[in-house]
Amino acid sequence: MRSFTYERPGTPAEAAAAVARTPEAKFIAGGTNLLDLMKLQIETPAHLVDVNGLGLDRIEATPEGGLRIGALVRNTDLAADARVRKDYGVLSRALLAGASGQLRNKATTAGNLLQRTRCPYFYDTAQACNKRRPGSGCSALDGVSRQLAVIGGSDACIATHPGDMAVAMRVLDATVETVDAEGTARRIPIAEFHRLPGDEPEIDTTLKIGELITAVTLPRPVAGTHIYRKVRDRASYAYALVSVAAILGKDGTGHVAFGGVAHKPWRVEAAEADLPRGAKAVTETVFAGAKPTHENAYKLKLAERTLGAALNQARA
Amino acid sequence: MSRRDRVADAPVMAKVGLTVNGQRRELDLDIRTSLLDAAREHLHLTGSKKGCDHGQCGACTMIVDGRRINACLTLAVMHQGSEITTIEGLGQPDNLHPMQAAFVKHDGYQCGYCTPGQICSGVAVLAEIEAGIPSHVTADLNAPIEVSAAEIRERMSGNICRCGAYSNIVEAMTAVAGRQA
Amino acid sequence: MKFDTPAGQNPIDQLKVVGKPTDRIDGKYKTTGTAPYAYERHDVVPNQAYGYVLGSGISKGRVRAIHVEDAKRAPGVLAVVTTLETPRLERGTMNTAYLFGGDAIQHYHQAIAVVVAETFEQARAAAFLVEVDYAAEAGKFDLAAEAKGAPPVPSDSGEGSGGDGEERVGDFEGAFAQAPVTLDETYTTADESHAMMEPHATVAAWDGDKLTLWTSNQMIAWGHGSIAKILGIPKANVRIDSPYVGGGFGGKLFVRADAVLAALGAKAAGRPVKVALTRPLIANNTTHRPATIQRVRIGATQDGTITAIAHESTSGNLPDGDPETAVSQTKLLYAGANRLTAMKLAHLDLPEGNAMRAPGEAPGLMVLEVAMDEMAEKLGLDPVAFRIRNDTQVDPQAPERPFSHRDLVGCLRLGADTFGWAKRNPRPGQVRDGQWLVGLGMAAAFRNNMVLKSGARVRLDGSGTVTVETDMTDVGTGSYTIIAQTAAEMMGLPLDKIVVRLGDSDFPVSSGSGGQFGANSSTAGVYAACVKLREAVAQRLGINSADAVFADGAVRAGNRAVPLGEAAAQGALSAEDTIEFGDLAKKQQQSTFGAHFVEVGVDADTAEIRVRRMLAVCAAGRILNPKSARSQVIGGMTMGTGAALMEELAVDTKRGFFANHDLAGYEVPVHADIPHQEVIFLDEVDPMSSPMKAKGVGELGICGVGAAVANAVYNATGIRVRDYPLTLDKFLERMPDAA
């Protein structure tokens, strides 16, 4: 871990300004992913701006009938919030399916959106990885890829976004609120927040340098059965092989997003009209153009069957 | 390689004040020091273990400001003023905490290395259930939560025991939960 | 003491202390965080500096240059020791790969340098400033590709299994060709990592030319000799201390790079140095259980009598490495006149394959006991009945050798009754519980009993306290407690009058911990020392030792009763002895037996497999402490469940390393994977084994359990997957359409 300087600014705008003006600066909130990567010298910030004291830890009702979730709300608190449990069950379920109790106590809403891939080659500094060292190549393409993306990848990168919460946020049509160094606020639809790797896999999101997430807002609750079905090898404390975040009616109508399959939560709204026709009809469209490796082609079948399970659950 | 890749930066030191097991402690630390290493290497409170240093095993679990966390994945400097309970603060060899005593009685350990983390987590898990925080296996998110083996197993899954004492740990925790009820 | 005739009646048979489910005497230290593990020995020597180990970034080839100038200039750095400035060091006991020195790279993450600094943070930062130039060479990394043509190679796991490269009895091929019912299937098991919770760690301090290592090691005497050999110094100048070991499972049987580099770093820095291998380094830097490709052929008559059985295993290893002894149990577990076993070894340039909990039997039974399940189905026999039909009371390769005690049938019957086996639907894929397809499976458990020479020293002081010293280790097995129970039983004392000190090379050499030989061997050594101490006490008190009764803290002879401490009133009494085993184990086969029963649920949609119930019935001689022995068995069941369902070091066959080298990537079971586990011990003694009449039990729990899981999965789904681990991707295409 490189040495760094450290500050605790007083306001979100000060924090944004601090990161914008200091070379190689980063925000730190829960730290559960950033410190992990700093220990391996994968992240090497020269300056850390601690945003924990900025008061961004409240969950408030919005005038539109939705919720505004402060960027620093811990995963545990968000999952346990009575309004979230009642009206946004898919979000509560996704959070509770992620990581461990200890990590959820520390990890934040914004940090969860920003967590980086778990690709084994990203994590091994002796190996080529375009995300970690642009231009060095992608070892995963002909390497160990059972966990990696089946769609939306590129010749440069087949990493997956490893999170659960973001998949629920995607099906809920959340909006990410930010502030930049000039104090200008911006609202980014969750669909546009995470990028596909393309030929710049080192860039995970559409945030600008120094742009600080202040909140995530949810629109009015959507009626239906809220389901987050995470499939993994061991029963807990594991990343998703495939996950399905869905809000479904008894007739099968509704919305669905997939996790564990791409560089971002994967949702194809156009396919949702086919939900009453069953899982296969939907996944054929959602995963059209998929380019799995021989190790992860099973994810296509798994996604279909997992969605089928969700549809059954909604119908029951 | 950039200049920073080749040249080490001068160390940055930070003064950190913590309350550890009820005692106020002042430390002058390299700013990179994790809360875990602050305890183990500077305070010589070595009960909290370093199994992975990456939040993948739970051996470092401490209770910080009332919540269990992985002490390896947080910086000491981020805990200025925090109230920290480590395994040493729960009980001592001749004055065991009920959870420690239950682990002994139910043989909820083998090599002992994950044990302090399991016990700190175990104490916190029962409090989390009591506080109504749901888990992945909670069937109804909007109903009261019972202490059950399934709830304990899910919530304890962030504490790996390679010796495989899980079945006994669940029995120890169930016994303690029964006494509390 | 020589043990060469079967044990008769002895003080252990009183079972006042031995055989009781006593709480561990070290429990209050482990549960309060006060038991000291290697890296936290702040008290033993002042001024400890921190070492950080660098691993090779290539899998095979040479290190051309290591640029350390920037690292040496970094703040706090005291020394950098590189492999290039060190001649290739000798290897220690059981090391296959070289640990350090020279320019040759044998495997990924091989240690190539240690950076020593004032603080851990400084050592870690400076380590990343070291730049290395490599000349990479092509290597062989793919077992499947190298398996063809791999020659048979003899091997001894050193843990009770092994043999010739190929062994034959009768005419296997002829009998197999004529058998009316046959099975011929090939199975694979994965590379597995010990993943013990405590990383390999050592504090090293030099005092002149004398070296002390506070380390984490299962086998103190091996480590002691190995360190002397590796560093080229006299054994008399080395001391090793390892009172607590945070898990080993075979991964700490031998000296590893942490100990070597702590010693070299301390020498270079001129002060004590401590080193722990970082978690991401462990999977590739240290050892692992090698993957296997196993072919099993069984021929039987229509009534289910085995007439021909063959088991061949191919595994890979570095040059000078051994094959996995995965066929050994097949020589002894079932009857059958015509037999063939073979171990084949391919050269691979992956990290070193070596012992991991029940080497040989663990992966071997994962296969043999699935083959038996498949054969039972072909025969239309119940799997329990098929095994009972083919039980043997003699070594099938040498029928003149009986088993010293064998009650596999008792384990199978009691297990079946207890588990409700009769309710199992023999037709697979029929039982449904909500979303779950439910199945039951079983397997036999088998593990040889090894006995090793083991010494101890016991000292009685004036307060009536007996202190036991032996270099035996407690790796979670309960050694502290069973050794105290043994001494208490022998000396007629309560447990709190016994002090046990372990793991120090200054103490008498013990068996150490491995191969489930530790408990029986080390307590037998304590027994021998206590026999001598009893004689010394009797002599001091002027009583005939044959008449002396040691009970309730006193020595009685006739009407005379003297508190035990009085014998040491004029000075402590000390005795030392070593138990040495004669050829009883050659005359009669000593093995341990068991039966595993497992219920699983398989998600009808996703094919996720979750274990719902587990039972093991074990027959392993006298159980010295049923509480800690039970823990050993459930621990094995847990690790075996991991091997069956999730554990796999993912080989990058192009780059030649295990890619998932941390505890997030290499998944081991967590709490949520493991249900309540039940263990039943048959009440038995084996006087052929030792004066304790005990046998090993620490590895029996992992033997066979993976097959029981696999058989239950088959019973649930009707899908037979022969490649471990049984992850859902291998089932999906064959799963029935979800309802």
The values of phi and psi at residue C374, to 5°, are -65, -40
C560 and C579 both lie in a single domain: yes
- Given pLDDT bands bounded at 50, 70 and 90, which one contains residue C517? very high
Cβ partners under 8 Å of residue C453, min gap 6: C509, C511, C521, C525, C578, C579, C580, C581
pLDDT at B179: 81
Q: Which of C240, C228, C160 is nearest to C518 (CA)?
A: C160
Residue B7 is predicted with a pLDDT of: 64
Q: Tell me what pLDDT residue C739 has.
A: 52
C546 & C409 share domain: no
- Are C275 and C410 contained in the same domain? no
Nearest-by-Cβ selection for C606 from A238, A239, A306: A306
Calculate mean pLDDT across residues A101-113: 98
Confidence tier at A240 by pLDDT (50, 70, 90):
very high
Query: Which residue of A144, A147, A236, A307 to mutate against C (max C Cβ within 10 Å)?
Result: A144
Q: What is the pLDDT of residue A200?
A: 98
Same domain for C254 and C277?
yes
Mean pLDDT to the nearest integer, C155-183: 92
Site of tokens 């690790």: C639
Task: Indicate whether C444 and C455 sit together in one domain.
Answer: no
Burial (0-12, 13-18, 19+ Cβ within 10 Å), C544: exposed
CA distance B106 to B110: 11
Of B10, B142, B158, the CB nearest to A85: B142
Of C262, C285, C308, the last residue of a domain is C285
Average pLDDT over chain C, rounded to whole?
97
| Tens-place pLDDT, residues C113-161 | 999 999 999 999 999 999 999 999 999 999 999 999 999 999 887 777 7
Domain limits for position C731: 402-448+590-739
State the count of interchain CB pairs (< 8 A) between A and C.
102
C508 and C556 housed in the same domain: yes
Pick the last residue of a domain from C585, C600, C628: C585
Supply the pLDDT for residue C215: 98
**Do the Cβ atoms of C32 and B59 come within 8 Å?**
no
DSSP C672: G
Contact C654 A143 (CB under 8 A): yes
> Does the pLDDT value for residue C724 go beyond 60?
yes
In a domain, C189, yes or no: no
Residue C664, min C-alpha distance to chain A (Å): 7
Does the beta-carbon distance from C638 to B164 stay under 8 Å?
A: yes
- Nearest C-alpha of chain A: how many angstroms from B179? 23
Neighbouring subunits of B (3+ Cβ pairs under 8 A)? A, C
The token pair that represents A155 in the structure block? 């010749």
Q: Which residue of C has its CA nearest to A237?
A: C670
CB contact under 8 A, A6 and B138: no
Does C491 share its domain with C419? no
How many domains does one find in chain C?
3
pLDDT at B180: 72
pLDDT of B8: 65
ipTM: 0.98
Select the residue of C58, C605, C655 nearest A306 (Cβ to Cβ): C605
Q: Give the pLDDT of residue B10.
A: 78
Residue B119 reports pLDDT greater than 90: yes
Asked if C88 and C218 sit in the same domain, the reply is yes
Average pLDDT over residues C690-703: 97
Q: At what angle do helices C705-717 and C361-379 cross, to 10 degrees?
A: 40
Angle, helix B166-180 to helix C626-645, in steps of 10 degrees: 120
- Count A/B contacts: CB-CB distance under 8 Å: 114
Instruction: Give the residue on B whose Cα is nearest the Cα of C68.
Output: B6
- Domain-embedded: residue C517: yes
Enumerate neighbours of A (3 or more CB pairs within 8 A).
B, C
- Asked if residue C681 and residue C654 are part of one domain, the reply reads yes
pLDDT at position B5 is 58
Q: ω into residue C243 within 30 of 0, thus cis? A: no
Contact B55, B72 (CB under 8 A): yes
Best B111, B138, B168 member to test C by mutation, with max C CBs in 10 Å, is: B111
> How high is the pLDDT of residue C161?
79
Q: Is-contact C592 C697, C-beta < 8 A?
A: yes
Please, what is the angle between helix A279-286 and helix A298-315, to 10°? Answer: 140
DSSP A17: H
| Cβ–Cβ below 8 Å for A6 and B14 | yes
DSSP state of C418: H
Contact A236 B11 (CB under 8 A): no
Rounded distance between C-alpha atoms, residue C494 and residue C515, angstroms: 30
How far, in whole angstroms, is CA C393 from its chain's centroid? 27
Chains that touch C (3 or more CB pairs under 8 A): A, B
Mutating which of A234, A244, A304, A311 best tests the C interface, going by the most C Cβ atoms within 10 A? A234
How far away is chain A from the Cα of B31, in angstroms, using its nearest Cα?
7
Contacts of A100 in chain B (CB under 8 A): 55, 58, 70, 157-159
Residue C146 bears catalytic tag: no
How far apart CA C141 and CA C654 sit, in angstroms, is 7
User: What does the block give as tokens for C167?
Assistant: 């062994």
- Kindly tell me if the per-residue pLDDT of C488 is higher than 80: yes
Give the separation between CA C54 and CA C566, rounded to whole angstroms.
57
Dihedral of alpha carbons B65, B67, B68, B71, sign:
negative
- On whether both C723 and C605 belong to a single domain, the answer is yes
Query: CB distance C70–B6 less than 8 Å?
Result: yes
Q: What percent of chain C has pLDDT over 90?
A: 97
Architecture of the domain spanning B4-90: Roll (3.10)
Residue B72 has pLDDT above 50, yes or no: yes
pLDDT digits (tens, 9 = 90+) for A92-104: 999 999 999 999 9
**C20 phi, psi to nearest 5 deg:** -90, 145
CATH 3.10.20.30 residue ranges for chain B: 4-90
pLDDT digits over C314-354, tens only? Answer: 999 999 999 999 999 999 999 999 999 999 999 999 999 99
pLDDT surpassing 60 at residue B131: yes
The pLDDT tens digits of the residues spanning C33-49 come to 999 999 999 999 999 99
DSSP structure class, residue B41 = I
Q: Percent of chain C scored above 70 by pLDDT?
A: 100
The answer to whether residue C151 is domain-embedded is: no
Per-residue pLDDT band at B1 (split at 50, 70, 90):
very low
User: What average pLDDT does the segment C700-718 reach?
Assistant: 98
Q: Taking CB atoms and an 8 Å limit, are A235 and C670 in contact across chains? A: yes
Last residue of a domain, one of C230, C252, C285: C285
Domain with CATH 1.10.150.120 in chain B: 98-180
Q: Are residues C440 and C458 in the same domain?
A: no
The span from the CA of C376 to the CA of C215, in Å, is 49
How far does the CA of residue C123 sit from the closest CA of chain A (Å)?
10
> What pLDDT score does C162 carry?
83
Sign of CA dihedral B35, B41, B43, B48: positive
Q: What is the pLDDT of residue C474?
A: 98
A45 close contact with B: CB closer than 8 A = no
Q: What share of chain B is helix, strand, coil (3-state, %, to 5)?
A: 40, 15, 45
Shortest CB distance from B61 goes to which of A31, A92, A102?
A102
pTM of the model: 0.98
Residue of A nearest to C131 (CA): A126
Looking at the domain assignment, is residue C179 inside a domain? Answer: no
Q: Is residue C223 part of a domain?
A: yes
Query: Residue C670 belongs to a domain with what CATH number?
Result: 3.30.365.10
Q: Provide the shortest C-alpha distance from residue B13 to chain C (in Å).
A: 12
Instruction: Residue A102: list chain B partners with CB under 8 A.
Output: 55, 58, 61, 68-70, 121, 158
What's the CA gap between B109 and B119, in Å, rounded? 10
Residue A190 pLDDT exceeds 60: yes
- Tell me whether residues C196 and B113 touch, CB distance under 8 A: yes
Whether residue C521 lies inside any domain: the answer is yes
CB atoms within 10 A of CB C422: 9
Closest CB from B51, B109, B167 relative to C31: B109
Of residues A304, A303, A306, A310, the one with CA closest to residue A252: A310
Q: Shortest CB distance from C40 goes to which of B46, B88, B107?
A: B46
> Does residue C429 lie within any of the structural domains?
yes
Q: How confident is the model at residue C391 (pLDDT cuts 50, 70, 90)?
A: very high
In this complex, the residue of C125, C655, C672 whose CB is nearest that of residue A235 is C672
According to CATH, the superfamily of the domain at B98-180 is: [2Fe-2S]-binding domain (1.10.150.120)
Q: Which of the residues C31, C214, C631, C679 would you substitute to probe the B interface, choosing the one with the greatest number of B C-beta atoms within 10 Å?
A: C31
Using an 8 Å CB-CB cutoff, list chain A residues near B157. 100, 235-237
| Chain C residues in contact with A139 (beta carbon < 8 A) | 652, 655
Can you tell me which residue has the tokens 């601090």? A18
Inspect the interface and report whether the beta carbons of C27 and B51 lie closer than 8 Å: no
- 3-state SS, C354-371, equals CCCCCCCHHHHHHHHHHH
Counted across chains B and C, CB pairs separated by less than 8 A come out at 214
Question: Residue A237: which of B75, B128, B158 has the nearest Cβ?
Answer: B158
**Are B120 and B87 in contact, with CB atoms under 8 Å apart?**
yes
What is the chain C residue with the closest CA to A41?
C128
Cβ neighbors of C645 (< 8 A, separation 6 or more) are A233, A234, C609, C611, C669, C673, C709, C725, C726, C727
Q: What is the pLDDT of residue B13?
A: 97
Identify the pLDDT of residue C485.
98
Q: What is the 8-class DSSP label of residue C589?
A: B
Domain identity same for C581 and C607: no
